[in-house]
């Protein structure tokens, strides 16, 4: 019974079935299945999809569909982990968002999805995220990495504001900050005091691994 539900949960991710994944996660938790086993089933499936994406067998619609199914199931499992006073095992916690004034979603979403598929815990703050929101979330979640996106030259400056706000709040030490997006260059990243820059979403995943030495 237990194995059957876990297998179905993993399958729901691979079939891009968000409502199904959420229902199965609920069922698994109700039956008292160990949350870490449910997490394993989810991450194993998303990794398989991620690998197939990397080899060109699957494409973004499949990758994002699988990630959305996983995201639908994850809070249900995490709730039980938290109730038990435990923490979720992951490659690292990353907060991602498109900065204030910028509503470009796609690149940041691809980056978040690839990271999730690579075993990271990603908190995606969405688009048009004010500096205060980054600061507040970093304080609360204590991530290893903050990743910011900006597509426009005009909004790229906002990445500087976020870094300054993190420094002012005393949260910059030990935190890695990375930037990306159409308007960003290595030189710009250095000029605003970021720890790294990547021109593409897969490059951002490699950069995250590199900075965390994993």
Partner 1 sequence: MLKGFTRSYPPLHMLTAEQEASIHGGALYTMQKTGMQIEHQGALSLMAEAGCEVDFEAQRVRIPSWLIEECLRKVPSQFRLKARDPKQDLMVGGDSVYFMQGMGMRYIDLDTWETRPATGAEHRDAMIVADALPNIHLAEAWEIYTDRRNVPPVMGMLENLASGIRYSSKTQVAGNIKDTEIFAIEMAKAVGTDLFPEIEHACPLTIQEGGADAAFRYAEAGIPFVPALSVSSGATGPATLAGAVVLKIAETMAWVVMTQVHKPGAPMAIHHGISATDMRTGNKVLSTPSRGVGTAMMNQMLRVYGIPIWSNTGFASTSKKIDFQAGYEKSVGTLLSALTGGHVQMYQGGSSTELMYSPEMAVMEDDVAGWIGGVLEGPIFNEETLAIDLINEVGPIPGHYMGTAHTRKWWNKEDYFPQVADIEAYASWAATGKKDMLDNAKDKVAEILANHKPLPLSAGEDQALEGILVEARNHYRAKGMISDDEWALYMTELELTD
- Least Å distance, CB 42 to partner 1, is 23
Question: In sequence order, what DSSP letters do the residues of 18-44 get, joined into one string?
Answer: HHHHHHHHHHHHHTT--HHHHHHHHHH
Q: What are the start-end ranges of the E strands in 71-204? A: 93-98, 121-124, 145-149, 176-180, 196-197
Backbone angles phi, psi at 212, to 5 degrees: -90, 0
Q: Which stretch binds partner 1 (CB under 8 A): 9-17, 35-43, 83-91, 106-114?
A: 106-114
CB proximity list for 114: less than 8 A, separation 6 or greater = 50, 53, 63, 201, 202, 204, 205
Closer to partner 1 at the Cβ: 39 or 131? Answer: 131
CB of 79 vs partner 1, minimal distance in Å: 27
Q: Identify the bridge partners of residue 95 per DSSP, sorted by sequence position.
A: 123, 146
Nearest-approach distance from CB 212 to partner 1, in angstroms: 24
Considering the complex, state which of residue 107 and residue 143 has its C-beta at the smaller distance from partner 1.
107
Note whether 167 binds partner 1 by CB under 8 A.
no
Residue placing its CB nearer to partner 1 in the complex, 137 or 161: 161
Of positions 36, 83, 87, 153, contacts partner 1 by CB under 8 A: 153
Give the span between the Cα atoms of 134 and 145, in whole angstroms: 11
Residue 122 interacts with partner 1 (CB under 8 A): yes or no: no
Contact with partner 1 (CB under 8 A): which of 27, 90, 157, 167? 157
Alpha-carbon distance of 22 to 17, in angstroms, equals 9
Closer Cβ to partner 1, 78 or 118, answer by number: 118
Indicate whether 156 belongs to the interface with partner 1 (CB under 8 A). yes
Q: Is 119 left (phi over 0), alpha (psi -120 to 50) or beta?
A: left
Q: Using CB under 8 A as the criterion, what x/- string covers residues 36-75 for binding partner 1? A: --------------------x--xxx--------------
Give whichever of 61 and 170 is closer to partner 1, judged by the CB atom.
Answer: 61
- 181-210 residues in contact with partner 1 (CB under 8 A) are 200-201
In 3D space, the residue among 152, 154, 172, 153 whose CA is nearest the CA of residue 162 turns out to be 172
Per CB under 8 A, residues contacting partner 1 are 56, 59-61, 103, 105-107, 110, 152-154, 156-157, 200-201
């Amino acid at each position: 019974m237990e194995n059957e539900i876990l297998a179905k949960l993993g399958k729901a991710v691979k079939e891009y079935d968000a409502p199904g994944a959420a229902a199965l996660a609920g069922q698994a938790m109700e039956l008292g299945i160990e949350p870490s086993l449910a997490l394993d089933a989810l991450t194993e499936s998303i990794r398989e999809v991620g690998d197939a994406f990397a080899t060109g067998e699957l494409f973004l619609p499949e990758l994002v569909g699988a990630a959305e199914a996983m995201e639908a199931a994850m809070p249900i499992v995490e709730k039980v982990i938290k109730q038990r006073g435990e923490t979720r095992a992951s490659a690292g916690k990353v907060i991602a968002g498109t900065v204030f004034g910028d509503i470009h979603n796609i690149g940041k979403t691809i980056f978040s999805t690839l990271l999730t598929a690579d075993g990271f815990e990603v908190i995606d703050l969405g688009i048009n995220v004010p500096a205060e929101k980054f600061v507040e979330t970093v304080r609360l979640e204590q991530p290893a990495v903050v990743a910011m996106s900006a597509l426009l030259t005009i909004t790229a400056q906002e990445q500087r504001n976020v870094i300054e706000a993190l420094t002012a709040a005393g949260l910059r030490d030990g935190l890695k900050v990375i930037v990306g997006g159409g308007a960003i260059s290595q030189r710009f990243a250095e000029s605003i005091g970021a720890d790294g820059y990547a021109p593409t979403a897969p490059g951002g995943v490699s950069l995250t691994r590199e900075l965390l030495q994993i």
